[in-house]
Amino acid sequence: MTTYLFFDEALRIFVNAFLISVLILIVVSAIGLAIVGSIEKNNIYPASPKHFR
């Protein structure tokens, strides 16, 4: 017995996967920006002058 995946079902699967990946990317980038902002605000790791030559 062969089961076929119809085009509209496959398209819906791909669209859902794309939207979920975009959502994950936005969430991860927001977390990263919050971490960078927190580090810059608290100046936990001061920049070394050797990085700006």
For 4-45, how does the pLDDT look when each residue is reduced to its tens digit (9 = 90+)?
A: 889 999 999 999 999 999 999 999 999 999 998 887 787 766
Q: What is the pLDDT of residue 7?
A: 93
Domain ranges for the chain, please list them.
10-43
* HSE-CB for 21 with a 13 A CA cutoff: 6
Query: Alpha-carbon distance 22 to 28, whole Å?
Result: 10
- pTM of the entire predicted model: 0.67
Residue 45 makes CB contacts below 8 A (sequence gap 6+) with 39
Please report the sign of the dihedral spanned by the C-alpha atoms of residue 32, residue 37, residue 40, residue 44.
negative
Token pair listed for 5: 């995946």
Count of positions (residues) in the chain: 53
